[in-house]
């Protein structure tokens, strides 16, 4: 079944629109991509402002004492980069119709994401054991703010990923945008880690 477009009378040919577009429960194509693009742009702007504040404060040496970064951060960096690889593999498999194998890669990605958060918490515990607290000095404060806010955004990505793994949403576009968001968070973490490491 199809409907005639209201533009049919204005053109020399009839324009046919699938009646599935009448389904109010499904958003138009591209709405998820636009949403994740706007979300990533907002998150990027927010963290960019924090990085600017970080470098501005680092020029004032009063009470500015960089702490030794835990080695666990290298582990977490490898975990999130590996999770991006598995997520991209799952996305490509899903596109080629291999949903069952893609689900396994998605589950692996979820496990890697969870391990990343666990490694971040382990890094926090190492810093606390070394006497580096949130309010110890501005550098340690920025460290906890960077890692904590990034972890919170990754937790949101994990929630979306678990919804995809559970099979409640089967639209390929949704899997694509969750993958894009996940890759963005991976790149964001690498940038934040570099800022902290080279400060």
Where the chain has pLDDT below 70, the residues are 1-29, 167-171
Q: State residue 26's pLDDT score.
A: 54
Q: Where are the domains of the chain?
A: 33-198
Q: State residue 7's pLDDT score.
A: 45
Residue 16: in which H helix or E strand, if any?
strand 16-18
Please count the residues of the chain: 199
CATH superfamily of the 33-198 domain: Cytochrome c oxidase, subunit III, four-helix bundle (1.20.120.80)
Report the C-alpha gap between 180 and 73 in whole angstroms: 23
Q: State residue 61's pLDDT score.
A: 77
Whose tokens are 């706007």? That residue is 38
Q: State residue 169's pLDDT score.
A: 56
| Residue 3, beta-bridge partner list | 17
Angle between helices 138-165 and 172-198 (to 10 degrees): 160
- Residues 35-50: b if buried by 16+ CB within 10 A, e if exposed: ebeebbeebeeebeee
- pLDDT for 132-158, tens place per residue? 888 778 898 999 999 999 999 999 999
Q: State residue 45's pLDDT score.
A: 97
Chain centre to alpha carbon of residue 186: 7
């Amino acid at each position: 079944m199809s409907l005639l477009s209201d533009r049919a009378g204005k053109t020399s040919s009839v324009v046919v629109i699938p009646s599935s577009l009448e389904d109010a429960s499904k958003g138009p194509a591209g709405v998820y991509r636009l949403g994740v693009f706007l979300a990533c742009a907002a998150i990027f702007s927010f963290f960019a402002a924090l990085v600017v504040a970080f470098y501005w404060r680092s020029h004032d040496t009063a009470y500015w004492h960089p702490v030794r970064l835990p080695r666990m951060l290298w582990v977490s960096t490898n975990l999130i980069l590996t999770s991006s690889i598995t997520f991209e593999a799952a996305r490509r498999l899903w596109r080629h119709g291999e949903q069952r194998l893609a689900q396994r890669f998605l589950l692996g990605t979820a496990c890697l994401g969870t391990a990343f958060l666990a490694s971040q918490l382990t890094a926090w515990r190492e810093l606390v054991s070394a006497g580096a607290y949130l309010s110890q000095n501005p550098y340690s404060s920025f460290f906890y703010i960077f890692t904590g806010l990034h972890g919170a955004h990754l937790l949101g990505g994990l929630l979306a990923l678990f919804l995809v793994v559970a099979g409640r949403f089967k639209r390929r576009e949704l899997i694509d945008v969750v993958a894009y968001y996940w890759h963005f968070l991976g790149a964001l973490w690498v940038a934040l880690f570099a800022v902290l490491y080279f400060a």
